[in-house]
């Protein structure tokens, strides 16, 4: 009786305060912040290896795990410099709004059939794209508000980048929805319990992987913030914690798209039940897949230069777009042929 108390308490917390747990623990604030901190640390360590360095070294033991917290504190305490000619309201508000958009999108991702923060049912996949579709607008506003030549060029690049990536992504996602017979993310995951959609939709899988890197603005597609020519693109004028927010937004957006990628193609939370309670096991598999995907995306940053804008547009419109339509037709043929 006494021994069972903690686990009972745990269960009651989990199930009675479910929305609160979801908001605070997973997939809520703690998860997103921890993800950003761990991934940035991991990225710095991993890429330092590629550069024959050791990476963060002094903060938090020899591994430097606390470096990110120190950096965050430093950014927080720094002065926020607002350029004289900037649009003050937009300039201050855009970086704060920026990470909330992908964070909102994350609420749609199912970690279990019942463990969804925001139940949108059959609308959840379109809703994800609707919410995420806002995110390119914010850099455009931010670049315009800062009133600087670098930021304006950077924000225009952002707009081009997202348009060329998002349309193939939507087409690929609708192919998945056709295959699953539903726009509900939960149903899509459930229909992958036998076979992951990465296998029948291999073209879509590749396109979505590239699109994920483009949407997260990571090398080789980090064209809007190209450091060597545009200083930091649309982020050039941000300082202090505003800059910290834009950096965080990059990782939150990466997280949102990675979770959607796992949900659509890598079987979502499906996996052998190894932790007893299916809920724990599902969350574990979700995190496990994320932990496999993230280093791959990070390593790509270590081995590829950045593409040029015209090369990216050619990639988007000449290759990704026709291929995603081809993928859609293949899916239709499979569906009508009755194979799936």
Partner 1 sequence: MSEPQIEPEIIRISWGPQHPMSGQTRILIDVDGEVVHRLIADLGFTHRGIEKILENRTLLQGLIPIERMAMVDTANIGLGYVLAVEEALGIEPPERANWIRSMICEICRINSHLYAFGLQVESTGYFPAVFLWTTVDREVLLDLLERLTGARWSYNFIIPGGVMNDLPEGFQDKVREAVNYLRGRFRQYWEAMVENAVFEMRCVGVAVLRKEDAIRLGATGPVLRGSGVDMDVRKDEPYAAYGDLDFKVITQPDGDAMARLKVRFHEIEQSLNIIEQVANEIPGGPVRVKIPLFPRPKPGEFLSRVETARGELGIHMFTDGGMNPYRVKINSPSLRNMYVFERLAELNRILVADIPVVINSIDPWYLDCDR
The total of other beta-carbon atoms located within 10 Å of residue 309's CB is 17
DSSP 66: T
In Å, how far from its chain's centre is CA 261?
Answer: 9
Closest CA to 255 of 56, 67, 54, 26: 26
- Our finding on whether 230 is near partner 1 (CB under 8 A) is yes
**Number of amino acids touching partner 1 (CB under 8 A):** 31
Tell the residue number behind the tokens 């009675």, with chain if given: 16
Looking at 5-13, 134-142, 219-227, 326-334, which segment touches partner 1 (CB under 8 A)?
A: 219-227
- Our finding on whether 307 is near partner 1 (CB under 8 A) is yes
Q: Where does residue 308 fall: left (phi above 0), alpha (psi -120 to 50 degrees), or beta otherwise?
A: beta
Residues 6+ apart with CB under 8 A from 119: none
Q: Contact with partner 1 (CB under 8 A): which of 18, 19, 130, 229?
A: 229
**In terms of CB distance, is 2 or 228 closer to partner 1?**
228
What string marks each residue from 239 to 268 as x (binds partner 1 by CB under 8 A) or -?
A: ------------------------------
Q: How far is the CB of 132 from partner 1 (least distance, A)?
A: 25
> What is the C-alpha radius of gyration for the chain, rounded to an integer number of angstroms?
21
**In terms of CB distance, is 223 or 262 closer to partner 1?**
223
Q: How far is the CB of 215 from partner 1 (least distance, A)?
A: 18
Q: How far is the CB of 51 from partner 1 (least distance, A)?
A: 4
The total of other beta-carbon atoms located within 10 Å of residue 235's CB is 27
- Our finding on whether 320 is near partner 1 (CB under 8 A) is no
Residue 336, judged by CB atoms within 10 A of its CB (0-12, 13-18, 19+), counts as: exposed
| 234 in Cβ contact with 151 (< 8 Å) | yes
The total of other beta-carbon atoms located within 10 Å of residue 296's CB is 10
**In terms of CB distance, is 197 or 221 closer to partner 1?**
221
Looking at 23-31, 270-278, 306-314, 318-326, which segment touches partner 1 (CB under 8 A)?
A: 306-314
- Our finding on whether 87 is near partner 1 (CB under 8 A) is no
CA distance 68 to 247: 12
Looking at 123-131, 146-154, 265-273, 289-297, which segment touches partner 1 (CB under 8 A)?
A: 146-154
Q: How far is the CB of 229 from partner 1 (least distance, A)?
A: 6
- Our finding on whether 53 is near partner 1 (CB under 8 A) is yes
- Our finding on whether 226 is near partner 1 (CB under 8 A) is yes
Q: Contact with partner 1 (CB under 8 A): which of 13, 73, 149, 292?
A: 149
CA distance 313 to 113: 38
Q: How far is the CB of 59 from partner 1 (least distance, A)?
A: 21
Q: Kindly report the backbone phi and psi dihedral angles of residue 133, in degrees, each rounded to the nearest multiple of 5, phi listed first.
A: -65, -15
Q: Contact with partner 1 (CB under 8 A): which of 24, 30, 50, 275?
A: 50
- Our finding on whether 310 is near partner 1 (CB under 8 A) is yes
| 224 in Cβ contact with 155 (< 8 Å) | yes
| 262 in Cβ contact with 290 (< 8 Å) | yes
Residues 6+ apart with CB under 8 A from 213: 220, 221, 297, 300
- Our finding on whether 231 is near partner 1 (CB under 8 A) is yes
- Our finding on whether 152 is near partner 1 (CB under 8 A) is yes
- Our finding on whether 305 is near partner 1 (CB under 8 A) is yes
Q: Which residues bind partner 1 (CB under 8 A)?
A: 47, 50-53, 149-150, 152-153, 156, 219-220, 222-223, 226-231, 301-311
């Amino acid at each position: 009786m006494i021994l069972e108390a903690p686990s009972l308490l745990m269960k009651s917390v989990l199930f009675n305060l479910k929305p609160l747990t979801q908001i605070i623990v997973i997939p809520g604030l703690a998860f997103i912040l921890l993800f950003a901190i761990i991934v940035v640390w991991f990225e710095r360590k991993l890429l330092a290896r590629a550069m024959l360095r050791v990476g963060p070294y002094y903060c938090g033991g020899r591994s430097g795990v606390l470096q990110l917290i120190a950096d965050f504190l430093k950014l927080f305490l720094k002065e926020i410099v607002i350029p004289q000619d900037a649009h003050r309201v937009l300039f201050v508000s855009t970086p704060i709004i920026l990470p909330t958009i992908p964070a909102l999108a994350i609420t749609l991702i199912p970690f279990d059939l019942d463990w969804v923060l925001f139940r949108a049912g059959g609308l959840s996949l379109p809703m994800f794209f609707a919410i995420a579709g806002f995110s390119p607008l914010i850099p455009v506003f931010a670049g315009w508000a800062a009133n600087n030549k670098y930021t304006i060029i950077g924000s225009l690049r952002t707009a081009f980048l997202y348009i060329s990536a998002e349309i193939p992504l939507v087409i690929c996602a609708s192919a998945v929805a056709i295959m699953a017979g539903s726009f509900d993310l939960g149903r899509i995951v459930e229909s992958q319990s036998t076979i992951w959609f990465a296998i029948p939709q291999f073209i879509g899988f590749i396109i979505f992987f590239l699109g994920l890197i483009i949407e997260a603005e990571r090398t080789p597609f980090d064209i809007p913030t190209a450091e060597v020519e545009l200083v930091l693109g649309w982020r050039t004028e941000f300082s202090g914690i505003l800059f910290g927010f834009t950096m965080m937004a990059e990782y939150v957006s990466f997280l949102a798209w990675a979770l959607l990628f796992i949900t659509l193609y890598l079987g979502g939370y499906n996996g052998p039940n190894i932790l007893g309670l299916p809920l724990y096991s599902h969350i574990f598999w979700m995190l496990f897949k994320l932990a496999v995907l993230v280093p791959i995306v990070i390593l790509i940053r270590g081995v590829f230069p950045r593409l040029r804008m015209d090369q990216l547009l050619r990639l988007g419109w000449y290759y990704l777009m026709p291929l995603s339509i081809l993928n859609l037709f293949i899916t239709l043929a499979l569906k009508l042929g009755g194979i799936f």
